[in-house]
Amino acid sequence: MSRFASFAKSLPLSGRIGLSLVLFWLAVALVGPAVAPHGVGAFVDQDVFSPVSSAFPLGSDYLGRDVLSRLLWGARYTVFLGAGAALLACLIGTTLALTAAVRGGWVDEVLSRAMDTLISIPSKIFALVMVAAFGSSLALLLTITAITYVPGNYRIARALAVNVVSLDFVTVARARGEGGLHVALREVLPNMIHPLLADFGLRFVFIVLLLSGLSFLGLGVQPPYADLGSLVRENMSGLVDGAPAIVMPALAIATLTVGANLLIDALKPVEKQG
Amino acid sequence: MSAHVAVKDLRITAGGKAIVDGVSFEIERGQVLALIGESGSGKTTIALALMGHSRFGATISGEVRLGETRVDRLDDAGLQALRGRRVAYVAQSAASAFNPSRTIMAQVTEPLLVHRLAGKEEAEARAVDLFRALALPSPETIGARYPHQLSGGQLQRLMAAMALITRPELVILDEPTTALDVTTQVEVLKAFKVAIASVGATAIYVSHDLAVVAQMADSILVLNQGRTREQGAAEQVLHAPADDYTRTLMGAARPHARSAPAVVGKEALLKVEGVHAAYGKVPVLRDISLSLAKGATLGVIGESGSGKSTLARVIAGLLPRSAGSVSLAGEELPKGLEGRSREQFRRVQLVFQNADTALNPVQTVGQALARPLAFYHGLKGAAAEAEVARLLDLIRLPAHLATRNVRQLSGGQKQRVNLARALAARPEVLLCDEVTSALDTVVGAAILELIDELRRELGIATVFISHDISTVRAFCDQVLVLYGGTAVEQADAAAFGRGVHHPYTDLLTDSVPEMRAGWLEQARTRKAVLAGESGDDLCRFLPRCPVAIAGTCNAAPPPLRSGDGLALLCHHELHDLEGMSA
Amino acid sequence: MVGRVSGGAAPRSAISGVLPLIAKRIGSALVTLLLVSAVVFTISGLLPGDAAQETLGQSATPEQVAALRHEMGLDRPALTRYVDWLGGMAQGDPGRSLVANMPVREVISARLPNSLMLAGFTALVSVPLALAIGIASAINRGGRLDRTLNVLTLSAVAVPEFLVATLGVLVFSVKLLWLPSIALVSEDASLWDTLRSCALPVLSLSVVVIAQMARMTRAAVADQLDRPYVEMARLKGVPFRRVVLFHVMPNAVGPIVNAVALSLSYLLGGAIIVETIFNFPGLASLMVNAVTSRDMPLLQACAMIFCAIYLTLVLVADVVAILANPRLRAQ
């Protein structure tokens, strides 16, 4: 725990804020339903779109449900789908990138050309086409958002890997007779872990935004499930009243993504000033 | 009359650490002071402080006087008026110090224009005059070019033009020839010396190379870790050094011939026959043959681009040869990495120039050494640890370094570990690619001694690739001279010492500065006879050869001339060449 | 090496040296577009299963399905279908919209100008602002201004468009009553009304785009400021403003234009959310409708237009970078 404390201390203020926000949402995703005052579908308010009150700390929604409880339940879809898809995207992207960088030659050409093609389809458009074709169950959403961001991770990871591969110690390993797997996993990968972690964070942010966007359009997480984006969508009619039911979930997403972004930025090696 | 430049008790600190600690010196008007030292000695930092500039937020204290001006007391506007006008700077790497997006002329004339010393036309006229004085090709039009269109030597001279164009009082030259090949260095040094003298500027010459300094400096200041070790007239410091550290530097600068000759086997261990290699369609090696016995050392010399590193890569299989054969103890090695057995890999080991990139930065010293032990010899656990300890002892590093991350080592220590990793394989052939070039002279000399000793103890055949002809001459049993991918000369040590050489070898030898004043003035820079002529089958050196024979050299490929322990490619007869190199 | 400047001739004419390079980039972009079309067609046209079965529902007899399959051309080989589809695209006739029951071309041509107008306004607002922020940040590296802008842009890039949009509506439409919350764009609307309608969508789009562009611009300029030639220029006594203007900028143009292109391409995605919120009759909201109603011909056409715009932007940036770089210009 002391290592964690010293790590947190080493961050600049913005990084500490980011870290707290990320940890907060992680905790909410894990234990949210357990601490929620009401059930996720319980109609507890006579009124709809109630303002903030002691009974409903974040107001009530278009059906008179407790917004706080809905948020606490919904966060897990956003956080876990986002993290899962980001992990999947990075695993696929980095594996392909290492293969391309270490094998080189036509393998690299083919993979890079394919990824260049996919990256030329703007991510939201790509996701929309896939949703239209395959639908949007939770498993499909996870896969679709992951695939959407594979090319981005591939591009970063390949650039990193190609850089490392050009270094002499990789040449030495090859001249030693080491196989491709050893070179990729033992010589190259350990030297790209830090930037890869940062990229994972970035993919997470992108995927959370994409997922929320899809849900907001009604193309993402489908009822009976509801992630934070769905909460914004279902309460759109409250916009003209300025109901907290629409602003709060949107703010929740923003705090998560901004927090993650601040944290990633703070982890970057200090830029030399001159 | 007081000195032109006076520095008193200069202290430069960064992050609470003193980079320069109490340095004082004076320079008379028109004199050249050399700042000598290894990396980390603070020599560049001092030079920049004379312009009121520091890197990485370092703070400067102490007195810096130029004429009547206290440079240390100037504000930003004052410094701006001083820089480029009264004090000018020539950087080490002209290739990166020139802006890639602007023409040479725009950059060279800029000091005149920003200080409003001349109009555009006059500035350009002055630039062309300087280009001519610095012996640059086509001085009228070279200004219209962009930096990437010019060679390193040309850029370095253009940088001098940029510095001298305002006729500054003080010129600071920061390792201006370090990045150049020796053959280019001579010409650049000559040009600098003449140009600085014609402007009448006082100069500070920063260098690690004593022989170069001997040509340029009136007085020398020897630095070590930010402190003055010795200071005096050039003649005295170079020939009667008073300080121990200076003596160490001098000792390292002159490679000693090795004490005992190695026990050299009779049979050829490594045999390279008629090897050709190319990067894509660009041929880099043509018809290279050599043979090396157990315990013998072959020195491969050539300038950058000669193909000397490629030769090592081809032998190791990193670059598959396009023709010819490479065999080890009579067994032909496959062209590339594919198909080589683990045993074949083990027997040939490669040591790279830059230990910073040759060691995996996430590993500890122990991990770096243990991998070849496990890979080739299946050593694990305690046996591997014991072997790591033995290897560290072999390269004279303390055993406790095994747990240290490689990034925490000094440059010399890294290069030793780099060497030990190759030795861990128990190789029969060691390919050393410029293993000392990235190191300070003293550290590099120690590495050389170590390699030589290990080679003799372990009977390893060594291919020693270097751009430094004096090192090769001192350490090697055989010498191979590469030019443009062709072996222009091949000789054993005795024959190489007799003084009959290919004209290119002569040029290389003549270009290495000697530690005596006046060498530069005597050094011959002979013009090429048939510049501009070249052909695929013709002598590669023809466009630069000062003794080429018109009608012969540009008509037919050079014949192989061989004599007692010597072979070279030249149209001249061996006995004619003897006279030429004298 | 000495022999490199031999004739001393002036560098070749800039344009002639560059043309082959630019032609190559254009060719490469076209190849990419072709590959993109294959991906889009595969995902939306081949993989989703049998459109005939779906249209008719589970109760249809195999004969009915087979008849419809034939009618829809689904019984032909995949490659033939792709080539036909691509041919239609290339000739500007992507087929019939299943839902609107009219040619896709007509549906799109009613919407595309609106989207281009929205993107144009956003670019007009965001490019100058972003460049100013990015350059100011870079030349004050490490300073308070830089750190503040860094946190601001860092936060802004991670804010979902619908948060900006809803907050915008709450403040400017609900509380202040300045702007309409729904975009009424039609040919009869006056310029003033159109501008007012576009204000909130443009605001929502600009926040993210400006932040992204500013960050990339800062990175591009800061990268150049670290180069040795900048220190050299300072040591020649060149004032800092002149260093930035005459030394750094010529080298930063390529990366900056690239940053602008990439950020603007982000508009394409961002527009999807923003157009939907404001009921803006643009191409992006049309595409969302196509997804909801599984109107594949319309969806494919929209996707291809977006991809073509993206590739054009990147291509333009590439060409500008080539023209700005003497290394590439005069090879």
Interface test with C, best of A25, A116, A117, A123 (most C CBs within 10 A): A117
Token pair 């490629």 is found at: B310
Of the pLDDT bands very low, low, confident and very high (cuts 50, 70, 90), residue A272 is: very low
Q: Which of B252, B284, B312 is the last residue before a domain boundary?
A: B252
Of B217 and B528, more confident: B217
Nearest residue to B538 via CA among B502, B482, B577, B486: B486
> What is the bridge-based pairing of β-strands B282-293 and B268-279?
antiparallel
Size of interface A-C (CB pairs under 8 A): 153
In chain C, which stretches have pLDDT less than 50? 1-12, 331
Residue B261 forms part of a structural domain = no
The residue among B357, B359, B407, B431 with the most chain A CBs within 10 A of its CB, best to mutate, is: B357
B173 and B197 co-located in one domain: yes
pLDDT, mean over chain A: 86
Short-list C194, C193, C187, C211, CA closest to C266? C211
Identify whether residues B84 and B200 lie together within a single domain.
yes
Retrieve residue B213's tokens.
């300094």
* B292 and B229 share one domain: no
DSSP A268: S
Looking at the structure of chain A, the number of domains it has is 1
Let me know if residue B262 belongs to a domain.
no
Q: Residue B168 has what pLDDT? A: 92
Instruction: Identify whether residues B360 and B421 lie together within a single domain.
Output: yes
pLDDT digits (tens, 9 = 90+) for B46-90: 999 999 898 877 889 999 999 888 988 889 899 999 999 999 999
Contacts of A177 in chain B (CB under 8 A): 337, 340, 342, 344-346, 375
- A239 in a domain, yes or no? yes
Closest CA to B188 of A55, C2, A210, C157: C2
Query: What is the number of other CB atoms lying within 10 angstroms of the CB of residue C109?
Result: 11
Q: B527 is in which domain, residue-wise?
A: 504-581
Maximum C-alpha span of chain C = 87
Query: Among residues of chain B, what percentage have pLDDT more than 90?
Result: 40
**What is the ipTM, given to two decimal places?**
0.84
A158 in a domain, yes or no? yes
Residue A34 counted as domain residue: no
Residue where one domain finishes, among candidates B415, B437, B466: B466
Domain holding A130: CATH number? 1.10.3720.10
Residue A168 touches chain B, beta carbons under 8 Å: yes
Q: What pTM does this model have?
A: 0.86
Residue B480 forms part of a structural domain: no
In this predicted structure, the answer to whether residue B582 has a pLDDT above a threshold of 80 is: no
H/E/C letters for each residue in B463-505? EEEECCHHHHHHHCCEEEEEECCEEEEEEEHHHHHCCCCCHHH
Residue B346: pLDDT over 50? yes
Report residue B500 CA to chain centroid gap: 25
Q: Give the confidence band of B367 by pLDDT, cuts at 50, 70, 90.
A: very high
Distance from CA of B289 to the nearest CA of A (A): 22
CA-to-CA distance for A81 and A87, rounded, in angstroms? Answer: 10
CA C269 centroid distance within chain:
8
Closest chain A CA to residue C264: A122
Q: What is the number of structural domains in chain B? A: 3
Q: What is the pLDDT of residue A244?
A: 82
β-strands B429-433, B461-466 pairing: parallel
Query: What is the per-residue pLDDT for C9?
Result: 39
Banded pLDDT at A84 (limits 50, 70, 90) = very high
Mean pLDDT of the B502-523 span: 85
What local confidence, expressed as pLDDT, does residue C183 receive? 63
**Quick check: B328 and B290 in contact, CB under 8 A?**
no
State the pLDDT confidence band at B579, using cuts at 50, 70 and 90.
Answer: low
> Where does the pLDDT of residue B270 fall: very low under 50, low under 70, confident under 90, or very high at 90 and above?
very high
Q: How far apart are CA C179 and CA C140, in angstroms?
A: 37
C226 to A274: CB separation less than 8 angstroms, yes or no: yes
Counting other chains too, the contacts that C97-104 makes at CB distance below 8 Å and 24 or more residues apart are C97/C290, C97/C295, C97/C297, C97/C298, C98/C293, C98/C294, C98/C295, C98/C296, C98/C297, C98/C298, C99/C289, C99/C290, C99/C293, C99/C295, C99/C298, C100/C295, C100/C298, C104/C297, C104/C298, C104/C301
CA distances A54 to A248, B68, C171, C331, Å, are: 16, 78, 25, 72
Give the span between the Cα atoms of B465 and B308, in whole angstroms: 7
Q: What is the spatial distance between Cα B123 and Cα B112, in angstroms, rounded to a whole number?
A: 6
Cα separation, B94 vs B408, in Å, equals 31
Q: What is the mean pLDDT of residues B547-559?
A: 85
Last residue in a domain, options B252, B284, B303: B252
Contacts of A192 in chain B (CB under 8 A): none
- Residue whose structure tokens are 């430049």: B5
Contact predicate C267/C116, CB 8 Å: no
Q: Is the pLDDT of residue B435 over 60?
A: yes
Any domain includes A163: yes
Could you tell me which chain A residue has the CA closest to the CA of B58?
Answer: A274
CATH number of the domain at B288, please.
Answer: 3.40.50.300
Q: Assign B1 a pLDDT band (cuts: 50, 70, 90).
A: low
- pLDDT band of residue B325 (cuts 50, 70, 90) is very high
**What fold characterizes domain C10-46+77-329?**
MetI-like fold (1.10.3720)
Instruction: State residue A204's pLDDT score.
Output: 93
Contacts of residue A273 in chain B, CB cutoff 8 Å? 57
> In B, which residues are within 8 Å of C238 by CB distance?
84, 110, 114
- At A1, the pLDDT band (50, 70, 90 cuts) reads low
d(Cα C48, Cα C183) in Å, to the nearest integer? Answer: 35
**Which residue in A has a C-alpha nearest to residue C42's C-alpha?**
A133
Task: Say whether both B363 and B438 belong to one domain.
Answer: yes
pLDDT digits (tens, 9 = 90+) for B107-155: 999 999 999 988 999 999 999 999 988 888 889 999 999 998 888 888 9
Which of C160, C162, C170 faces A242 most closely, judged by CB atoms? Answer: C170
Among B219-233, B440-454, C140-154, where is mean pLDDT lowest? B440-454
Q: Are strands B69-70 and B227-233 parallel, antiparallel or unpaired?
A: unpaired
Is the confidence at residue B14, as pLDDT, over 50? yes
Alpha-carbon distance of B156 to B189, in angstroms, equals: 10
* Domain assignment present for B482: no
B20-38 pLDDT per residue, tens: 888 999 999 989 999 998 8
* In a domain? residue B489: no
Residues of A in contact with B350 (CB under 8 A): 171-172, 175
- Position B534: which residue type? S
Calpha distance B437→B452 (Å, rounded): 16
* Residue type present at position C131: L
Q: Which residues contact B484 (CB under 8 A, 6 or more apart)?
A: B305, B306, B307, B540, B541
Chain A residue closest to C291 (CA)?
A132
Taking CA atoms, B343 is separated from B27, B377, B427, C234, in Å, by 62, 10, 10, 56
pLDDT bucket at B263, cuts 50 / 70 / 90: low
pLDDT digits (tens, 9 = 90+) for B169-193: 999 999 888 888 888 888 888 888 8
**pLDDT exceeds 80 at position B530:** no
Residues B237, B134 share a domain: yes
What residues does B489 pair with on adjacent strands? B481, B568
The domain spans of chain C are: 10-46+77-329
Say whether B361 and A273 touch across the interface (CB within 8 A): no
- Quote the mean pLDDT of chain B: 88
In a domain, B485, yes or no: no
Among B343, B342, B282, which Cα is nearest to B310's? Answer: B282
- Residue count of chain A: 274
C2 chain-B contacts, CB cut-off 8 A? 137, 151, 153-154, 184, 187, 544
pLDDT of the residue at B135: 83
- From C4's Cα to the closest Cα of chain B, the distance in A is 7
Rg of chain C over Cα atoms, rounded to whole angstroms, equals 25
Backbone φ and ψ for B56, nearest 5 degrees, come out as: 55, 35
Residue A184 to chain C, least CA–CA distance (Å): 29
For residues B285 and B243, state if they share a domain.
no
Q: In this complex, which of A168, A178, A274 lies closest to B354 when CB atoms are compared?
A: A168
Determine the straight-line distance between the first and last CA of chain A, rounded to whole angstroms.
36
Structural domain boundaries enclosing A181: 21-29+59-268
Which helix (H) or strand (E) segment is C263 a member of?
helix C249-277
Tell me the nearest-neighbour CA distance from C136 into chain B, angstroms: 21
Q: Give the CA count within 13 Å in the CB-facing half-sphere of A231.
A: 36
